[in-house]
Structure 1
Amino acid sequence: MTQAANLPDLRAEDFDFALPEALIAQSPARPRDAARMLVASTDGPRDAGVRDLPDWLRPGDLMVVNDTCVIPARLRARRGEARVEIMLNRAEAGGQGGTVWHALVRNARKLRPGDILSVEGAPELSPRVVERQEGGAVLLDFGPDQGLLAAALERAGEIPLPPYIARPDGPRPEDRDDYQPIFARQPGAVAAPTASLHFTPALLEALAARGVGQVSLTLHVGAGTFLPIRAENPREHKLHAEWGEIAPAAAEAINAARAKGGRIVAIGTTALRLLESAVDDQGTIRPFQGLTDIFLLPGHVFHSADLLLTNFHLPKSSLFMLVSAFAGMARMRDAYAHAVAQNYRFYSYGDASLLFREDAA
Structure 2
Amino acid sequence: MSEMTQTASSVLQASASGVMLEARELVKRYRQRTAVNGVSFQVPHGEIFGLLGPNGAGKTTTLEMIEGIRKPDSGTAILAGLDIRHRKNAVQRLIGVQLQATTLFPELTLLETLTFFRSLYPTGRDPRQLLSEVHLEEKAKARPQDLSGGQRQRLALALALVNDPQILFLDEPTASLDPQSRRMLWDIVLALKEQGTTIMLTTHFMDEAQILCDRIAIMDNGEIIALDTAAHLIDRLGAQATIDCKLNSHTVAADLETLPAVTKIRQSAEHFVIFTAEMQPTLEALLQYANQRGITLTELQVSTPTLEDVFLELTGRQLRPE
Shorter-normalised TM-score: what interval?
under 0.3
**Taking structure 1 as the reference length, what is the TM-score of the superposition?**
0.24
**Taking structure 2 as the reference length, what is the TM-score of the superposition?**
0.26
Determine which structure has greater relative contact order: mean sequence separation of CA pairs < 8 Å that are 6+ residues apart, divided by chain length. Answer: 1
Q: Which has more radius of gyration?
A: 2
Structure with the largest fraction of helix: 2
